[in-house]
Amino acid sequence: MSTDQTAQFELFGDSSAAMDLIGSVPLPVELANLPDQLPKRVRFGTSSWSFPGWAGIVYTKQVGEQLLARSGLAAYANHPLLRAVGLDRTFYAPLAAAEFGRYAAAVPEDFRFVVKAHAVLTTPPATAQRAAVRADVDRFLDSEYAVSRVIDPAVEGLGERLGAILFQFPPLSHSYLRDPRRFAEALGAFLRGLPAGPRYSVELRNSELLTAEYADVLASCAVTHCFNVHSRMPNVLEQAKLLGASAWQHDTIVIRWMLHPTQQYEDARARYFPFDRIVDSDPANRTAIARLIETLQTMGKQVVVIANNKAEGCAPLTLFALARELGQRAELALPS
């Protein structure tokens, strides 16, 4: 991008003129009918939107990451298959209601955000992950902090566009894994301190915590389990089998396709950058997610699927392939 174009973006900020300059790419002709074939209660999105490598896939022009982060959301939300997005930056620091409001103003009414709660809420003290949180005060499972710094601003700023607030826990220590009931009880006390109304979802990175006690806590608090594809976790169908219907009693279910099963996070980032193509196809998890979506649809659930670049190499292309599989499965299910 030229210096003059960069200056234009700086001048336009988040105006529609900046969005027009970035632009969104229509689906390829062979996929053009996919959005109409998908169930209306299913939304696809990615973890953030600020990836220059998506030029020609989502965006018409290749612009810098900072410019996409600031001014690319409207072009992203104009894509026919992308009706949701994960707000990952909120994991690292809370946002004010005004900032959420700016995001809400950039997208259509039927668009939904999955907002990651601040990591201080889900990272226990005296752990390796805690150093990255950079918090002076222990806020682990602090309901008051969650309400004042995460939930209230998100609700005020996003309104109906708030799809769910996600509490993502890192891999927990042996002290929790030795007695999973201890985690379930602490989680329950935290969730019962949150206001009713917003949709909440809990994501784990320890299969040992997928217990009946955990499922019961979710059900009693009207909170759902976030079904996630991660190398530390069993596949989404196994998660559903372990937890049963208690994991999806609320109306909105979040599925996050985060990481290829053969990869670690940093290795995947280096292997897949600049995230412009599928590098490691994962048909097994694609089919598992499609089957889970079908099951949830029979129950009338809203489903938000969030894909990460580290799932296969390019999150939008991962979603295109998932949408294609769902469409094919729907055709096979039609009576002959």
| CB of 161 closer than 8 Å to CB of 113 | yes
Q: In sequence order, which residues have a C-beta less than 8 Å from that of residue 75 and are 6 or more positions away?
A: 19, 22, 23, 24, 58, 59, 60
Degrees, nearest 5: CA angle 180-118-116: 85
pLDDT given at position 132: 56
Q: Quick one: which H or E segment has residue 65?
A: helix 65-71
pLDDT given at position 3: 40
pLDDT given at position 18: 58
Q: Would you call 12 exposed, middle or buried from its count of C-beta atoms within 10 A (0-12, 13-18, 19+)?
A: middle
pLDDT given at position 336: 46
> What structural domains does the chain harbor?
31-44+86-315 (3.20.20)
- Tokens 């927990």, located at residue: 172
> Hey, what are 152's tokens?
């209230």
Q: What is the pLDDT of residues 128-158, one digit of tens each?
A: 555 555 556 789 999 999 999 999 999 999 9
- Is residue 32 left, alpha or beta, with left meaning phi > 0 and alpha meaning psi from -120 to 50? alpha
Which stretches of the chain drop beneath a pLDDT of 70?
1-19, 126-136, 332-336
> Hey, what are 328's tokens?
């094919």
pLDDT given at position 10: 42
pLDDT given at position 5: 42
CA distances (Å), 127 to each of 116, 130, 140, 186, in order?
20, 5, 12, 17
Strands in 72-221 per DSSP E: 84-87, 112-116, 162-168, 200-203
Count of other CB atoms within 10 angstroms of residue 148: 12
CA distances (Å), 31 to each of 27, 82, 325, 327, in order?
6, 13, 11, 10
